[in-house]
Structure formats: structure tokens, C-alpha cells
Amino acid sequence: MLEPFSGNERVMRAAFTPHSRPDDRPPEPLAVTAPRLIRRLVAALLLALCSACGTTTPRAGEPPAASGLRIEPLLSAQILGQYDDNIYLQNVGPLAKHDSWVTAVMPVAGISLRPREGTEGLVAKLSYEPDYRFFHSEPTESYLRHIGLLDIRWTQGPWSLVTQAKVAYTDGTTESVIWAPPDFIPSLGGYEVRDRRRNFKYQQRLSLRYDLDRWFLRGVYEGRVWDFMIEQKPIPFYQNFVDRNDLNAGADFGGKSGKTTEWFLGYRIGHQDQALNPFAAPLSYANTYHRVLLGVKTRAGKWLTLTGEAGPSLHEFDPAMIWPGQSDLETLLYFRTSATVTIGPDTTVTLGAREDLLPASVGRSAYHNIEYKGGIEHRFGEALRAGFTFTVEEYDFMAPIARRDRVYTPSLSAGYRFTPHFEAGLFYSYAWAESQVPNLEGREYDRHRIGFEFTASY
């Protein structure tokens, strides 16, 4: 599933730990070199930007410089307790309705860099945000996720650069899950169960922009890498997850309408990779794609902000590596959009939708990755807030795979801020999964989660 940059999931391992391949071939070059290259680029970028902005660290007793950067610490901690009545997302079979209390500890440590007043330049955040979760009744599902986040925004005259990077190494079990016979694989493939096992993920978006009076030019890059580190075994119904990645780059030409609206026409060239499952048919839905986009960003006063991009996405597959009868050329719809509506000073509505194509993590297939999400939050004075969200996720597999899953998740939350540094909250969610293909009822499930959280911040 395509994973956006929002949420509590956090980010990067220093380098991939290569795991053994059944044919003893070396790992794909991207899976080894990408993190190292990214680290070097980020380090060089930070050094160059800090030098350009005149970052200084004053000595003791010396007043701060009039220009340069302010450095501020980021410190917080969150403790979460949750009851989950279906941790394996199964209503039938030996894993059906296994429940557990879950405790999570999520500290945050980082720094924030800001330009001093009257200067343009660098705004950056760098943080380490681990997530430790202990499943009291199912200890094999416990994990420690190391997450790193980097957010850089830099301006200098007509030039501007924005990048967001997120890397996460999950230190969990290397034993994969064994579902019951194939119909019992849960909707959406049970990606949440998969992600509790040992794995590494990298995501980054980067744009470099040059502004003219009424026009702008922009170069863009987006990368996503999944490295699954489970032990691969020739066991029936054992899930041998395979590595995959999605990298693209391109350019946008855009215009400005007043101070509140921008539009752009863009092109992306990208590649998606999918490793082979060693104990199944040697098929791979790796592909090269070309994407033409029309996008818009607009703001109506203080009550509406809207961003979106959409267009056709042409995917070229290797005909020797896909299922017989499957077309090696597919033109698909791609879109990504979000909106924020402010209703008065205390109520905010958020809406979002996206669709793209992604190779499956079990290999031998690809699916349309679709999500629709809406939410509303209301503040009752300065301290109390409450919210409701509703999410619909869908995986629609390419033929000849006859699977189309849909999961609906409404959720409620409430929080109370006792002081500027301490907040407590409650939440509840209910999810039900449906198969849109007849006679696959084993993929369906329902799930309740309820819990509390405490957050302290500095």
C-alpha cells in the first residue's frame, strides 16, 4: 500500500541489512546503495544550506548573531494503551479473533532550525521517533520500530527547495505469518500484520522550484522502498513477502492566478520493482511508467485549502514475467488530492483521496491502491477536542487475479489538554472488511479497538 507521510509511523535505518536470497544472488543494487546515497546527499545538503544561511553557535556569554538560524529542541513522549479484539484480522481459521492488550511507548527527540527574524533561508526539523509496542497476549507480535524524520524548507531569492524524508526499521520477528487456505488471507493482504515483522521502509519527496512573476518551473523526485526481512520458507500458506520499490522523477511547468491559486502541468518517469517469490511461479510485475499530470493548489480565504493532481499513468511490463494473457501495457488512472475546510474558529473538516498502481508484497501481481478519507474535529474551548474520521481502503487486483477487497473504518477520538505540556486522550475504531468478489468470504473480518493515550511535550 502506498503510504503517505502522515500518521504516527516514523522512519530511517542507517543502511539496509541485506538478507539472504534463495538463489544466493546479491541483492538488487538499489536496495543496498539507496540509503547510503540518501544519507550522503542529505548530509551534503544540510552542510551547504547551513553554510549559506550563516548558522552559528554563539559562545557562552556571547549574544546571538543578528542573522543565521535559531536552534530549538523537540522533546515529547506518548504512552498508549489499547485493546484489540482481532490482531490477525481473521474471522475464521486457527488465528481467528485472537485478542490482546497492546502497550506502546513513543518518545520523540530532535531539533528544529529556523531563520532569525528578517532573514530568509532554512527551516528544518530532524527527529528520532521510536515506537515500541508490546502485545501482552501475543508476544511474537511485539516490535521496536526505529523512525527518523527529516523536513527541510529552504528559500533564497526565486529559488526554493522542499524535502520530506522518512525512514523506519522495524525490529520484529523474522517469522512470517501462516494464513489458513488461500481464501483466508485477509482483505488488503493483512499489511498491518506484515509490517510488525522485521522490515525497512524509506519514503522521500523532494522539489526544487524557480519562481518568475506569473510562472514557475519545478523539478521533483519521489522515492519509496520496502525491504522485507522475514525468513523465506517453502511452507504451504506461509507468506514469503518480497522486496519492492517505486521511484520517479520529473518536471512541472506552472502558473499563478493571483496570490491564492497555482496550477501546473507535469510529467513523471518512474520505475516500480518487484522481487521474485522463490517458492512460486517466477513472475514479477516490475514496470516502467510514464505519467502526465494536471495539478492545482488553491486557497479561498481562511476557510478552504485544496491541493490535487491527476492524470493517466502508462505502465510497461515485461511480457515474459507476467501472467499469460495479461497485457504488457496498461493505462491507468492516478490521482492524489486533499482539502481542508475551516468552519468557524473551532471546527475543521479534512478530506483526502488517492489512487495508483503498486506491485504486491507477496509477488506475482499488482493492484490499484485506493483510499478515501474524511474527518471532522471540533474544539470545545481551549482544552477539550473531539473528532470523527471515516476511511475506505480498497485493493483492486489486475486480471487475471480475481481479488477486490474493501475495508471501512470509522473512528472516534477525544482529547483534553491539562497544561500546555500535557494532554490525555481516548479513541475507538471499528473496521469491517468485505470481498467484492463472490465466494471469498474467508477474506472478510471485523475488528474493534479502544484505548487511551497520554502525551507530554517540551
pLDDT category at 369 given cuts 50, 70, 90 is very high
Residues 147 and 100: their CA atoms lie apart, in Å, by: 24
Tens digit of each residue's pLDDT (9 = 90 or more) over 215-238: 999 999 999 999 999 999 999 999
Number of CB atoms found within 10 A of residue 406's CB: 18
Residues 360 and 286: their CA atoms lie apart, in Å, by: 10
What is the CA 247 to chain-centroid distance, rounded?
Answer: 14
pLDDT at 45 over 50: no
pLDDT at 37 over 80: no
Residues 220 and 48: their CA atoms lie apart, in Å, by: 20
The CB-side HSE value for 220 (13 A sphere, CA atoms) comes to 20
Please report the pLDDT score of residue 206 as a whole number: 98
* Paired residues of 9 in beta bridges: none
Q: Which helix (H) or strand (E) holds 234?
A: none
- Residue of higher predicted confidence among 419 and 301: 419
CA angle, 189 then 194 then 198, to 5°: 160
Q: Which residues contact 252 (CB under 8 A, 6 or more apart)?
A: 216, 217, 218, 219, 220, 264, 265, 266, 293, 295
**Identity of the amino acid at 23:** D
Residues 244 and 246: their CA atoms lie apart, in Å, by: 7
Please report the pLDDT score of residue 296 as a whole number: 97
Which residue is associated with the grid cell 522495524?
Answer: 170
Residues 261 and 35: their CA atoms lie apart, in Å, by: 36
pLDDT at 50 over 70: no
Domain count, the chain: 1
Please report the pLDDT score of residue 119 as a whole number: 60
DSSP string, 65-97: PSSSEEEEEEEEEEEEEEEES-TT--SSSTTTT
Give the residue-averaged pLDDT of 249-270. 96
The CB-side HSE value for 279 (13 A sphere, CA atoms) comes to 12
Lowest mean pLDDT among 1-15, 103-117, 205-219, 307-321: 1-15
Residues 98 and 87: their CA atoms lie apart, in Å, by: 6
* Residue 308: domain span: 29-57+65-457
Tens digit of each residue's pLDDT (9 = 90 or more) over 238-259: 999 999 999 999 999 999 998 8
Could you tell me if residue 190 is inside a domain? Answer: yes
Could you tell me if residue 24 is inside a domain? Answer: no
Task: Provide the total of helices (H) and of strands (E) in the chain, helices listed first.
Answer: 2, 19
Tens digit of each residue's pLDDT (9 = 90 or more) over 386-415: 999 999 999 999 988 889 999 999 999 999
Q: Note whether 2 and 354 are within 8 A (CB).
A: yes
Q: The domain that contains 151 carries what CATH number? A: 2.40.160
Pairing status of strand 143-156 against strand 159-171: antiparallel
Among 155, 178, 185, 101, smallest CA distance to 367 is for: 185
Please report the pLDDT score of residue 449 as a whole number: 98
Could you tell me if residue 19 is inside a domain? Answer: no
pLDDT at 96 over 80: yes
* Paired residues of 342 in beta bridges: 348
Query: What rounded mean pLDDT belongs to the chain?
Result: 87
pLDDT at 58 over 90: no
Could you tell me if residue 379 is inside a domain? Answer: yes
pLDDT at 105 over 60: yes
CA distances (Å), origin 404, targets 192, 335, 342: 18, 19, 35
Could you tell me if residue 113 is inside a domain? Answer: yes
pLDDT at 46 over 80: no
pLDDT category at 10 given cuts 50, 70, 90 is very low
Give the residue-averaged pLDDT of 140-163. 96
pLDDT at 431 over 70: yes
Tens digit of each residue's pLDDT (9 = 90 or more) over 341-361: 999 899 999 999 999 999 999
pLDDT category at 16 given cuts 50, 70, 90 is very low
Could you tell me if residue 387 is inside a domain? Answer: yes
Q: Could you tell me what percent of the chain has a pLDDT over 90?
A: 78
pTM comes to: 0.84
* Paired residues of 121 in beta bridges: none
- Across 68-77, 171-180, 181-190, the highest mean pLDDT is recorded for 171-180
Could you tell me if residue 323 is inside a domain? Answer: yes
pLDDT category at 44 given cuts 50, 70, 90 is very low
pLDDT at 104 over 50: yes
Cα torsion angle, 147, 88, 133, 239, sign? negative
Could you tell me if residue 436 is inside a domain? Answer: yes
Tens digit of each residue's pLDDT (9 = 90 or more) over 305-334: 999 999 999 999 999 999 988 889 999 999
Please report the pLDDT score of residue 118 as a whole number: 57
pLDDT category at 172 given cuts 50, 70, 90 is very high
pLDDT at 143 over 50: yes
pLDDT at 29 over 50: no
Please report the pLDDT score of residue 15 as a whole number: 33
Please report the pLDDT score of residue 307 as a whole number: 97
pLDDT category at 57 given cuts 50, 70, 90 is very low
Region for 363 from its dihedrals, namely left if φ exceeds 0, alpha if ψ lies in -120 to 50, beta otherwise: left
